[in-house]
Amino acid sequence: MYPSPAPRLVSVGQMYVPESELHESRQRDAQSMFQNDTTGVESYMRGAQYERKKNWKLGFGMLMFGLVIGLIVSLAVTASIVYFNKIRVKSFAQAVKSCNAEYYSTVAVDGSSLEMHTAGTKHPGMSVTTMQCVFDELHVPAAARQRMASTRALDGTQEETWGSYRATWNYHPENGLHVVVSVR
């Protein structure tokens, strides 16, 4: 190992530089750079233009990325809505078909509701067993079935919701039980 060199000795006259001289020398250096050599300024301007162009491209790229992601998300949401609407249409139609309840039930054209009638004293309708089969297919809760079974003519129209369904019904001895199940 070699010993480190001794610090360089500086005279007191060299240590002090008046501030005015320092400021003047910096101004002279700056003026000479701009007067004698314009390549520094031109290269600076080219660099600034490059940075602006680069930033513009980055911003445009991010905008396009956002638009593509937004388009993909909106297509996925639309596809899922269409898919679940088809499932809903099939569920009402399939429930009616699997229980042989076509005669006294009506599925809306768009599949958004199902209307059913049971037999009354003056009007024909489906049997209670057939309606219970349709309720089984639609997963109607026991509480809603009990409320339907105990509805009187004086009670008026009743309502119950479960899952994604909403049911309204009324009862009259002459007309029977009238039930409309719709999608919420």
Domain residue spans of the chain: 94-183
Quick one: pLDDT at residue 44?
Answer: 61
Contact 93, 114 (CB under 8 A): no
Q: Which of 168, 165, 184 has its CA nearest to residue 95?
A: 165
Q: Which helix (H) or strand (E) holds 154?
A: none
Residue 10 has pLDDT above 70, yes or no: no
Residue 142 has pLDDT above 90, yes or no: yes
Contact 150, 111 (CB under 8 A): no
Quick one: pLDDT at residue 31?
Answer: 72
Residue 164 has pLDDT above 70, yes or no: yes
Q: Which of 103, 142, 138 has its CA nearest to residue 123?
A: 103
Query: Residue 106 pairs with which residues in a beta bridge?
Result: 115
Residue 22 has pLDDT above 80, yes or no: no
Quick one: pLDDT at residue 83?
Answer: 79
156: left (phi > 0), else alpha (psi -120 to 50), else beta?
Answer: left
Quick one: pLDDT at residue 180?
Answer: 95
Inter-axis angle of helices 128-138 and 39-98, nearest 10: 160
Tell which wins on pLDDT, 155 or 42.
Answer: 155
pTM: 0.53
Residue 66 has pLDDT above 70, yes or no: yes
Query: How many CB atoms sit inside 10 A of residue 18's CB?
Result: 8
pLDDT interval class at 109 (50, 70, 90): confident
What percent of the chain clears pLDDT 70, i.e. is strictly above it?
75
The amino acid at 135: F
Region 33-51 average pLDDT: 61
pLDDT interval class at 45 (50, 70, 90): low
Quick one: pLDDT at residue 70?
Answer: 94
